[in-house]
Amino acid sequence: MPSGAGHDAMVVGRYVPAAMLFTQSKDGISHNPKEWSSLNDCTQTVHVLKRFIEKVCDE
């Protein structure tokens, strides 16, 4: 999914491959004190990261 997010990946990506993993936030709010993600959404994101790391380590 394309993102306008700059974050550190924008700088690091010039030198090495970079990716960002997003967790769904309630009502799409981010970078705001009202930002909130459910424990289930956070857990699912961690599982996606785990599978990604396992796949990269197997290569």
Write the pLDDT tens digit of every residue in 18-36: 888 889 999 999 889 999 9
In this structure, what token pair is assigned to residue 1?
């999914």
Rounded to the nearest 10°, the torsion over CA 19, 54, 15, 1 is -20
Q: What is the pTM of this model?
A: 0.75
Short-list 42, 48, 41, CA closest to 19: 48
Listed by start position, the domains of the chain span 24-59
Short-list 50, 51, 23, 20, CA closest to 38: 23
Cα–Cα distance list, 38 to 11, 20, 47 (Å): 30, 19, 14
Per-residue pLDDT band for 10 (boundaries 50, 70, 90) equals confident
